[in-house]
Protein backbone atom coordinates (compact mmCIF):
# COMPACT_ATOMS: atom_id res chain seq x y z
CA UNK A 1 0.00 0.00 0.00
CA UNK A 2 1.33 3.43 -0.96
CA UNK A 3 2.19 5.83 1.83
CA UNK A 4 0.04 8.97 2.03
CA UNK A 5 1.72 12.35 1.82
CA UNK A 6 0.57 12.87 5.42
CA UNK A 7 2.55 9.79 6.50
CA UNK A 8 5.50 10.64 4.27
CA UNK A 9 5.84 14.08 5.84
CA UNK A 10 5.79 12.63 9.35
CA UNK A 11 2.16 12.92 10.45
CA UNK A 12 0.39 15.64 12.36
CA UNK A 13 3.35 16.55 14.56
CA UNK A 14 5.54 17.34 11.54
CA UNK A 15 2.70 19.17 9.77
CA UNK A 16 2.14 21.26 12.92
CA UNK A 17 5.77 22.44 12.69
CA UNK A 18 5.30 23.36 9.03
CA UNK A 19 2.09 25.27 9.82
CA UNK A 20 3.70 27.10 12.75
CA UNK A 21 6.61 28.17 10.55
CA UNK A 22 4.16 29.06 7.76
CA UNK A 23 2.39 31.57 10.00
CA UNK A 24 5.10 32.83 12.34
CA UNK A 25 8.02 32.62 9.95
CA UNK A 26 6.34 33.90 6.80
CA UNK A 27 2.65 34.90 6.71
CA UNK A 28 2.59 37.20 9.73
CA UNK A 29 5.73 38.96 8.43
CA UNK A 30 4.20 39.55 4.99
CA UNK A 31 2.43 42.93 4.87
CA UNK A 32 0.37 41.88 1.85
CA UNK A 33 -1.46 39.17 3.81
CA UNK A 34 -0.89 39.73 7.53
CA UNK A 35 -3.81 42.18 7.85
CA UNK A 36 -6.15 39.21 7.32
CA UNK A 37 -4.90 37.81 10.64
CA UNK A 38 -4.95 40.98 12.78
CA UNK A 39 -7.84 39.84 14.94
CA UNK A 40 -7.23 36.11 14.70
CA UNK A 41 -6.53 33.80 17.62
CA UNK A 42 -3.36 32.38 16.07
CA UNK A 43 -3.14 29.38 18.41
CA UNK A 44 -6.63 28.35 17.32
CA UNK A 45 -5.86 29.17 13.67
CA UNK A 46 -2.70 27.06 13.68
CA UNK A 47 -4.59 24.16 15.26
CA UNK A 48 -7.37 24.32 12.65
CA UNK A 49 -4.91 24.69 9.79
CA UNK A 50 -2.81 21.76 11.02
CA UNK A 51 -5.87 19.50 11.12
CA UNK A 52 -7.10 20.75 7.75
CA UNK A 53 -3.75 20.27 6.00
CA UNK A 54 -3.30 16.88 7.69
CA UNK A 55 -6.64 15.74 6.28
CA UNK A 56 -5.94 17.25 2.85
CA UNK A 57 -2.69 15.26 2.68
CA UNK A 58 -4.33 11.94 3.48
CA UNK A 59 -4.38 11.96 7.27
CA UNK A 60 -7.35 11.37 9.55
CA UNK A 61 -10.32 13.70 9.23
CA UNK A 62 -10.13 15.70 12.43
CA UNK A 63 -11.00 19.01 10.78
CA UNK A 64 -14.28 20.38 12.09
CA UNK A 65 -13.94 23.99 11.07
CA UNK A 66 -16.05 26.01 8.66
CA UNK A 67 -16.13 25.30 4.95
CA UNK A 68 -13.49 27.17 2.97
CA UNK A 69 -16.11 29.48 1.45
CA UNK A 70 -17.65 30.23 4.86
CA UNK A 71 -14.28 30.72 6.57
CA UNK A 72 -13.22 33.31 3.99
CA UNK A 73 -16.57 35.10 3.69
CA UNK A 74 -16.25 38.88 3.69
CA UNK A 75 -12.46 38.83 3.26
CA UNK A 76 -12.43 39.63 -0.47
CA UNK A 77 -9.20 37.70 -1.02
CA UNK A 78 -7.63 38.64 -4.34
CA UNK A 79 -5.36 36.55 -6.59
CA UNK A 80 -2.21 38.25 -5.22
CA UNK A 81 -3.22 37.30 -1.66
CA UNK A 82 -3.98 33.70 -2.60
CA UNK A 83 -0.71 33.42 -4.54
CA UNK A 84 1.27 34.83 -1.60
CA UNK A 85 -0.22 32.22 0.74
CA UNK A 86 0.56 29.44 -1.74
CA UNK A 87 4.16 30.70 -2.01
CA UNK A 88 4.49 30.76 1.78
CA UNK A 89 3.17 27.21 2.01
CA UNK A 90 5.65 26.13 -0.67
CA UNK A 91 8.50 27.82 1.20
CA UNK A 92 7.40 26.32 4.54
CA UNK A 93 7.35 22.81 3.14
CA UNK A 94 10.72 23.36 1.44
CA UNK A 95 12.15 24.73 4.70
CA UNK A 96 11.43 21.34 6.30
CA UNK A 97 13.04 19.41 3.46
CA UNK A 98 9.95 18.28 1.57
CA UNK A 99 10.88 17.47 -2.03
CA UNK A 100 9.42 19.47 -4.92
CA UNK A 101 7.24 16.61 -6.23
CA UNK A 102 5.51 16.31 -2.85
CA UNK A 103 5.23 20.08 -2.54
CA UNK A 104 3.56 20.16 -5.97
CA UNK A 105 1.09 17.50 -4.83
CA UNK A 106 0.24 19.48 -1.69
CA UNK A 107 -0.09 22.77 -3.59
CA UNK A 108 -2.38 21.19 -6.20
CA UNK A 109 -4.76 20.33 -3.37
CA UNK A 110 -4.63 23.94 -2.18
CA UNK A 111 -5.16 25.21 -5.74
CA UNK A 112 -8.36 23.16 -5.96
CA UNK A 113 -9.79 25.40 -3.20
CA UNK A 114 -9.07 28.67 -5.04
CA UNK A 115 -12.69 29.25 -6.11
CA UNK A 116 -13.95 28.62 -2.57
CA UNK A 117 -11.54 31.15 -1.08
CA UNK A 118 -11.22 34.10 -3.47
CA UNK A 119 -13.62 37.04 -3.86
CA UNK A 120 -15.82 35.94 -0.95
CATH assignment of the domain containing 52: 1.10.490.10
Q: Would you say 46 and 23 are in contact if contact means Cβ atoms under 8 Å apart? A: yes
Q: Please determine, for residue 64, whether its predicted confidence score (pLDDT) is greater than 90.
A: no
Say how far apart CA 76 and CA 107 lie, in whole Å: 21
Q: Please give the model's pTM, rounded to 2 decimal places.
A: 0.88
Query: What residues contact residue 12 under an 8 Å CB cut-off, 6+ apart?
Result: 6, 50, 51, 54, 59
Q: Determine the pLDDT at residue 63.
A: 67
Q: Fill in the DSSP letter of residue 65.
A: S
pLDDT band at 110, cuts 50/70/90?
confident
Q: Would you say 51 and 62 are in contact if contact means Cβ atoms under 8 Å apart? A: yes
Q: Would you say 52 and 65 are in contact if contact means Cβ atoms under 8 Å apart? A: yes
The residue range of the domain holding 19 is 10-117
Q: Is residue 50 part of a domain?
A: yes
DSSP 3-state of 77 = strand
H or E element: which one contains 116?
Answer: helix 114-117
User: What is the number of domains present in the chain?
Assistant: 1
Q: Please determine, for residue 97, whether its predicted confidence score (pLDDT) is greater than 70.
A: yes
Highest mean pLDDT among 25-39, 48-62, 99-113: 25-39
Q: Is residue 52 part of a domain?
A: yes
Q: Determine the pLDDT at residue 119.
A: 77
Amino acid sequence: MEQTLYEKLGGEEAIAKVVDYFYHGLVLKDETVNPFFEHTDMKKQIGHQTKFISFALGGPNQYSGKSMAKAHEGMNIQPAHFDAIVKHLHDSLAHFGVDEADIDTALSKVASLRDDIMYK
